[in-house]
Structure 1
């Protein structure tokens, strides 16, 4: 890119600023400033003398300094919300996000803030958005927050209890619940896509069998890189299993029917494995006394390529699986029990045996929450995250050594947590609140 060193003058709300095209080029071609230059970052004829912008000059000064130095300094007299609004106008929100938070590092996370919820009762799920916002499901309502924690219009899903939510893309939420017919005979509930910004229904997915539409309960969700959505489905006849739809057309493109003796239609977790183009499906305790974990390959119709179950094993709480997650490279599955003991299964072995690593000694001392929650797992950037009561443990390295622990005393047990963008979100059960953890930016030398 050939960048001219011409000086550029702006009149912003009556205040004069002078800079260079080189500095403005840091904003990027899709920014406000990219629009007033040609392909070589030369000013158009109408802007060569002075470019007037009828916006806030104090915010412009902060954003211009950000383009000059790469660092963001917000004076205490300036409202952050106002600054973020102005950054959105200039197309600089990504620059602001980068300057305010460091690259995600599970061992360097620091508590950022707690956000009070807006609905009564226990939360169902929290899901981090790709841009650092989040969605929180309570009962039949989903509360959506942008990365600045401004709340968007709520999603009220036909007064049906929501089982799972997921981000199809930064602007679209998938919501899964029980489907029913309303008084007019129209379908309500099920699985649908909503606008994250407006809460407006965009599309409702249907389950068809033998050319007839069926009512069903949608459960755990997952998405593939080729724009497919997967959901566990529980119906009233023989459509139990995993449904697959095309996110672009909305059409059902596959359905994996539940084998006899398994519980795919009531799965607690489904996870798409990009490395193997397969889907992990896990039905866990206490939904079922026996745990079922399988890997499905949809390229070969109805092909279960790997499975494991603790059916027939001695019933003991210390080995009942509470959650499961597949490694990002897709070669192993990690499970966790009630005491935060981790178990690992190698997908390259057909035996499906579990290698347990006791973590019970790592449980924090002191008073336990009044309502302990089952542990949850997440795998992110080669690290394993596991919630236990009111804390989240981070395990690293080939031996999965405990390298850090995140804990807040406010809110009680963690009922769910999620990583989205460059943040970790933890939803508490005893208080309607979720915590936000971020990696701090590097110190300015």
Structure 2
């Protein structure tokens, strides 16, 4: 950029600030200051004045101007965080503030940033990270939505319909799947505003040209704007439904085959590389475990595995969660002792190769354990177990880090997104926010 070293003055709330065009250009084209520059990043001439007047808080402007100069965020004690965030939003500098508060996600460098106590009675059931650093938490029939500043938006109340899963379309819209209530004809899925909680539209299931009530379970989203959900109806609507997330219209349905399980899935995962959907129905929701890959283009199951008929002599070999690892063409599974197992997607013979070196827990299980969950992010594998999240790195999934705190009880769910890890505890209605510290400014 051919930025001139011109100086520029601002009168912010009666206080004069002077800075250089180079510093101001760090705000970016989409900020309030972007239109002050021409296409070559030269300051455009002012007419009649030698300073810009902005009727805003001068103390916050000083903090934000220093952030543009140094890349570091120093907030004086007299400046409330919420006030600074509001001013940063006005100037178009929220992304700069976020980048200075926490860095690019790295599971081995995570630090506990905050903990939030839930506001609903009963245990939390699911937590999902939003794309901008916020999250949403399901408690029974309630969904509580938080922005990246951890300010709570109006809660979403589904009137005693139990929430099964939540998913973010973008920072403004979330999808909620819920149980059907017999005799009410409700349940299914809806698209809601994350800021107001308003229901924007419902996703319907049609069977033999008739709209059916159904229970929606696990959710997944594809890069080409499709929504996938496990579905259970009262007739033959057992399987995986597909909807266009823009129009809300149903565009496909993969029906469950006799002797298999799709409608009761615990996890769905869209695989961009193969254009297939991982569907996992797991113990204890089902008596047996069923894992399959569905190709919707050919309308067939291209890979599958089940423990039906397998000799299970010790309960620890029960699969509790599963996740596909596309780079290694494998599926990782975990049992209740956090042993990791792997299955080769290139092999038609589905068998689990358990990795005993991954065992992290020995001894007696707690009286009310939370079954482990898996997640992938940035080439790292994450597994929750009791009150801890373990981080595995490298092609051999070597344990490299553990995240643990002493308050809140076992972790019942966790989610990664917006460069944060959110961990929901089964007790005290508390969730933790783990962040990577920003790199030092040299």
TM-score calculated relative to the size of structure 1: 0.95
1:72 positional shift: 1.0
Contact 1:165 1:221 in 2 (8 A): yes
Which of 178, 189, 205 is the matching residue for 1:207? 205
2:35 maps to what in 1?
35
| C-alpha distance 160-44 of structure 1, shift in aligned 2 (>3 A) | farther
1:384 maps to what in 2?
381
Deviations 1:238-266 (A, max 9, x none): 11100000011111110000011111000
Equivalent pairs counted in the alignment come to 440
1:18 maps to what in 2?
18
- 1:153 alignment partner, SS class: coil
Deviations 1:196-232 (A, max 9, x none): 1111111210001121101100000000001100000
Contact 2:340 2:358 in 1 (8 A): no
1:417 maps to what in 2?
414
1:180 positional shift: 4.8
Matches within 5 A, 1:258-277: 258-277=256-275
| C-alpha distance 31-182 of structure 1, shift in aligned 2 (>3 A) | farther
Which of 321, 331, 334 is the matching residue for 1:333? 331
Which of 211, 229, 248 is the matching residue for 1:250? 248
1:359 positional shift: 5.0
Instruction: Indicate yes or no: 2:306 matched with 1:309.
Output: yes
Deviations 1:56-111 (A, max 9, x none): 00100110111111111111221111111110111101001111112111111111
d(CA) in 1 for partners of 2:26 and 2:246? 34
- 1:32 alignment partner, SS class: coil
1:372 maps to what in 2?
369
- 1:265 alignment partner, SS class: coil
- 2:78 alignment partner, SS class: coil
2:99 maps to what in 1?
98
d(CA) in 2 for partners of 1:50 and 1:407? 52
1:192 maps to what in 2?
190
| C-alpha distance 164-388 of structure 1, shift in aligned 2 (>3 A) | same
Q: CA RMSD in A?
A: 1.8
- 2:165 alignment partner, SS class: strand
Matches within 5 A, 1:7-156: 7-41=7-41, 42-43=43-44, 45-46=46-47, 49-156=50-157
Structure 2 runs not aligned, ≥5 long: none
| C-alpha distance 25-17 of structure 1, shift in aligned 2 (>3 A) | same
Contact 1:36 1:47 in 2 (8 A): no
d(CA) in 1 for partners of 2:49 and 2:183? 62
1:319 positional shift: 1.1
| C-alpha distance 210-77 of structure 1, shift in aligned 2 (>3 A) | same
TM-score calculated relative to the size of structure 2: 0.96
Instruction: Indicate yes or no: 2:168 matched with 1:167.
Output: yes
1:21 positional shift: 2.1
d(CA) in 2 for partners of 1:323 and 1:181? 29
1:400 maps to what in 2?
397
Contact 2:105 2:436 in 1 (8 A): yes
Contact 2:339 2:360 in 1 (8 A): no
1:20 positional shift: 2.1
1:368 positional shift: 6.4
